[in-house]
Structure 1
Amino acid sequence: MSTKKYRYPSVLTIAGFDGSGGAGIQADIKTISALGCYATSALTALPVQNTQGVRAIYPIPYQAVQEQLETILDDIFPEAIKIGMVHTGELVDTIVDTLASYPRAPVVFDPVMVATSGDKLIEDKTITTIVERLFPIAAVLTPNMDEAAILAEMPVHTLDDMYIAGAKIRKLGCRSVLLKGGHLDAQRLTSLYFDAQGAVHEFSFDKFETNNTHGSGCTLSSAIASYIALGKNLLEAVHKGQEYVHQAILHGSDVQVGKGNGPLNHFFNPQQLTKYDLV
């Protein structure tokens, strides 16, 4: 029997809960696992929700968030980190200050700021703290068009708007920005990736009708983090992450889960856990 030891590439998700399994930390864990990485997690909030909406949100004490992070980082240090919705400035400070005590790992930040209904989910002062503290540690930021409109302080309705807004957001201090075009009124949906050198890359996919897109933003940011953990560069990770989400939506488009907006099919092509030599 061989005595050789291996390790799994790990991804840490810092996010909220979704008991219906389609979004939040559950979607993150499914995505990370489906792509062959090892998922660890730290819970930031406890929303009570299903496919039809959120009924209540219970906060997690900041000390508990800090202790969760320290416990994981001390033991299973990740190749990449995904950060989801952070709803208070104090939570931002807790996460950033805790991560600062450890070696840097690439961070993918999904800035969840606007509900599907169009309602803003966080206060302006929290957005300011996010820009000042989270943006500088983010390798990739993944706003949708509504979130881009808040960050760039301009309407974002067209592809031309996206070009202007994405350039503005990248200048706020993050390394790169993937501006998602899922809300475009077009037959082909185009997302724009503004890389660290200032170049812009277009990614387009055919639009198809389905209500099963619950958790697509969580899934995308986790997929990008997973591909980074698997050794892809940022552009490759962004490209492959979008392809994964497109296929996950496609393969789940004809399935009914719950009475509202259903989840993606995260396991349309599950990969075995990747094993690397233990160094």
Structure 2
Amino acid sequence: MSNDSRLRNVLTIAGSDPSGGAGLQGDLKTFSALGVYGTNVITAVIAQNTCGVASVYPVSPHAIREQLENLINDVALDAVKIGMVASREVAEVIADVLRQNRPRWIVLDPVMVAKSGDILVDDAGIRAVRDILVPLADVITPNLPEAAVLLDAESPNSLDDMEAMLPALIELGAPYVVLKGGHLRGDTCPDLLATPDGHTWLPASRIDTDNLHGTGCALSSAITACLAKLPADAAPNAPKQAIGEAKLWLHAALEASTRLSVGHGRGPVHHFHAWW
């Protein structure tokens, strides 16, 4: 086994969140909580709070390319998380730079709709995520509405519907798919994980809380951190275990979110629940 004990460097490519619970601010908290060094490239300045999104101000493709190239020319990255991508041009820039400087892991959170229901990406951006970024990624983490948008299909209403949708998601090109089931009703909150060896359920009990702001960002960035920490000679089932560890961390962060008092809407998870 590898004895490489250095701290891993990871990158989030995402929009901003002034309230600190989602977007790149939330991602950086997750990275720190899980013991990796976080860097960031901003794709959009978003005027939002725990109650909703007011405005989205996309960063130009040129500025995103310049951010990426300057960072990658200096910092060796072990894993990259891609979040909000507002346009096809931005998707093309990200894909171009990462193909030339590919890290070991790329995790795509296809952010399209905020927890408040606000639409964040236009139709061209949605097609770009599906056609350009999903095939580039090692892991994608859509929730049920996002999966429906990617496939131009109805959103699943049951566990059977989730299983029926999974093959079409796999065909989009990412070897690992985490289909998040939090939008289903019930006492449990299962996610469906597809790997190159098959699929399995990641069960969890549903936590009675309104502090759901940034949960998708937290899970995808936690997966990024856990994958980054895997040694190069990790066992074939190690990525599956890393994804499971990320889900357990998020569950604990949700449970501890009652200790926070942030905003009047959907509050954030407690990223640093293990520390304070």
Q: TM-score, normalised by structure 2?
A: 0.91
State the 1:171 CA deviation: 0.8
Contact in 2 for aligned 1:16/1:25 (Cα 8 Å): yes
Deviations 1:69-107 (A, max 9, x none): 111111112111000011111110011111122144310
Contact in 1 for aligned 2:34/2:222 (Cα 8 Å): yes
In structure 2, runs of 5+ residues without a counterpart are: none
5 Å-filtered alignment, 1:1-279, equals: 7-118=6-117, 120-152=119-151, 153-197=153-197, 199-231=198-230, 233-270=238-275
Q: In structure 2, give the amino acid aligned to 1:251.
A: A
Number of aligned positions between the proteins: 266
Please give the alpha-carbon distance, in whole angstroms, between the structure 2 residues aligned to 1:212 and 1:155.
Answer: 23
After superposing the two structures, state which structure 1 stretch, 39-48 or 120-129, moved more. Answer: 120-129
After superposing the two structures, state which structure 1 stretch, 175-184 or 107-116, moved more. Answer: 107-116
Q: TM-score, normalised by structure 1?
A: 0.90
Deviations 1:17-48 (A, max 9, x none): 01111100011000000001000110100001
What percent identity do the matched residue pairs reach?
Answer: 41
Contact in 1 for aligned 2:195/2:240 (Cα 8 Å): yes
Please give the alpha-carbon distance, in whole angstroms, between the structure 1 residues aligned to 2:240 and 2:116.
Answer: 31
Contact in 1 for aligned 2:78/2:103 (Cα 8 Å): no
After superposing the two structures, state which structure 1 stretch, 151-160 or 9-18, moved more. Answer: 151-160
Q: In structure 2, give the amino acid aligned to 1:256.
A: S
The CA RMSD measured in Å over matched residues stands at: 1.8
Please give the alpha-carbon distance, in whole angstroms, between the structure 2 residues aligned to 1:155 and 1:106.
Answer: 28
SS, match of residue 189 in structure 1: coil
Contact in 2 for aligned 1:193/1:201 (Cα 8 Å): yes
Q: In structure 2, give the amino acid aligned to 1:169.
A: L
Could you say which residue in structure 2 is the equivalent of 1:274?
none
Q: In structure 2, give the amino acid aligned to 1:179.
A: L
Contact in 1 for aligned 2:83/2:110 (Cα 8 Å): yes
SS, match of residue 183 in structure 2: coil
After superposing the two structures, state which structure 1 stretch, 130-139 or 214-223, moved more. Answer: 130-139
Deviations 1:209-247 (A, max 9, x none): 111111010010000000011117320121011101110
State the 1:120 CA deviation: 4.2
State the 1:174 CA deviation: 1.3
Contact in 2 for aligned 1:36/1:270 (Cα 8 Å): no
Please give the alpha-carbon distance, in whole angstroms, between the structure 2 residues aligned to 1:119 and 1:161.
Answer: 25
Please give the alpha-carbon distance, in whole angstroms, between the structure 2 residues aligned to 1:225 and 1:270.
Answer: 20
Greater RCO, 1 or 2 (C-alpha within 8 Å, sep 6+): 1
Contact in 2 for aligned 1:154/1:165 (Cα 8 Å): no
Contact in 1 for aligned 2:178/2:194 (Cα 8 Å): yes
CA 1:252/1:117 → structure 2, altered by over 3 Å: closer, same or farther?
A: closer
SS, match of residue 221 in structure 1: helix
Contact in 1 for aligned 2:115/2:213 (Cα 8 Å): no
State the 1:119 CA deviation: 5.1
In structure 1, runs of 5+ residues without a counterpart are: 1-5, 272-279
SS, match of residue 137 in structure 1: coil
Q: In structure 1, give the amino acid aligned to 2:174.
A: C
State the 1:117 CA deviation: 4.6
